[in-house]
Amino acid sequence: MRRLAVFALALALDLALGEPPTPAHPTAWVGRAAQALEPLGRRLSPRGQLAFGAAVALLLPLAAAWAGRRALRRTGDGWTGLLAEAALLKSAFSVRALLAEALALRRLLEQGHLEAARRRARTLVGRDTSRLDEAHLVSAGLESLAENATDAFLAPWLYYVLAGTGGALAYRAVNTLDAMWGYRGHYEHLGKAAARLDDLANLLPARLGALLLALASGRPRPALATALTQHGRTESPNAGWTMSALAGALGVELEKEGHYRLGNPQRPLAPPLLDEGARVVARAAALGALLVFLLLWLEAKGWRR
């Protein structure tokens, strides 16, 4: 039952306190490690960058898991160790911060601060937001909510179930490296392995995320129908599942200009939809947490036998 207690405490820490300070955040450590390694890879040929990127994509997550386990060995098995592991697990996921970002974007739009909203949206999506109008900013916020339902909490939780806190930290390292290197152009060769590994790691969590978003919305049929028919419109093999599910659930069309359109424009994209989308994601997180509790409880019951 220890793993169940760790997860419950980690969830409570996230909801009560949110993100730890950046200097103490393991994601920041992974980011600094990637920044330090990048110049070494840049000196290599394209083929050398592919090999170097693949080595980093494999070894950095393993190092994150190892460092986490080593740190926990020093804390022991008592209450101190339990709290330390919960804090470490919490650093691998985030529900509160994801919802807060969407709601902050909504407030800026409702107050008419379009330029500030564009700057805020820049932290949520990987595109130029400097010329987006209100509707496209709302779309960007909803897309971020949907896609990050996988990255921010569902995937780390599933890897915790499968491989403990080390598994959740390894996933977070994979996802962080993809966010830094997994782009075409400048990172075409160096980041290819990181991008592919992230795609592989999210195959199951993304599809589970689409299902949970559909159930949480109260409109499972249109949500699932949209996800099943439109998920392939995105370049990513995973992001389209949750984004199209949320679009179908809300009855809106989400658009990244020049790349994809998801859903059907039954309702205009207006700032209050960010509130609605955040509520759907929050309920999906609750369903996901219940699923994790069930899996961990079943694991504990099986271990007792």
**What distance in Å separates the CA atoms of residue 67 and residue 169, rounded to the nearest whole number?**
9
- The pTM of the full predicted model, rounded to 2 decimals, is 0.94
In sequence order, what are the residues at sequence separation of 6 or more whose Cβ sits closer than 8 angstroms to the Cβ of residue 134?
A: 109, 114, 117, 269, 270, 271
**What distance in Å separates the CA atoms of residue 88 and residue 12, rounded to the nearest whole number?**
13
pLDDT tens column, 12-59: 999 999 888 877 787 888 889 999 999 999 899 999 999 999 999 999
pLDDT tens column, 4-23: 999 999 999 999 998 888 77
pLDDT at site 303? 58
Cα distances (Å, whole numbers) of residue 8 to 4, 12, 35, 82, 172: 6, 6, 33, 11, 19
The confidence band for 304, taking pLDDT boundaries of 50, 70 and 90, is: very low
Contact yes or no for 190/41 (Cβ under 8 A): yes
Domain total in the chain: 1
Percent of the chain predicted with pLDDT > 70: 99
**What distance in Å separates the CA atoms of residue 94 and residue 75, rounded to the nearest whole number?**
24
Percent of the chain predicted with pLDDT > 90: 80
Domain ranges, residue 112: 2-304
**What distance in Å separates the CA atoms of residue 235 and residue 239, rounded to the nearest whole number?**
8
Question: Exposure string (b/e) for 41-52, b if CB count within 10 Å is 16 or more?
Answer: beeeeeeebbeb
Count Cα neighbours of 81 within 13 Å in the Cβ-side half-sphere.
Answer: 13
pLDDT at site 76? 74
The confidence band for 99, taking pLDDT boundaries of 50, 70 and 90, is: very high
Q: What is the mean pLDDT of residues 88-105?
A: 95
Contact yes or no for 60/30 (Cβ under 8 A): yes
Q: State the DSSP string of 182-227.
A: --SGGGTTTTHHHHHHHHHHTHHHHHHHHHHHHHHHT-HHHHHHHH
**What distance in Å separates the CA atoms of residue 246 and residue 263, rounded to the nearest whole number?**
8
Structure letter (DSSP) for residue 74: T
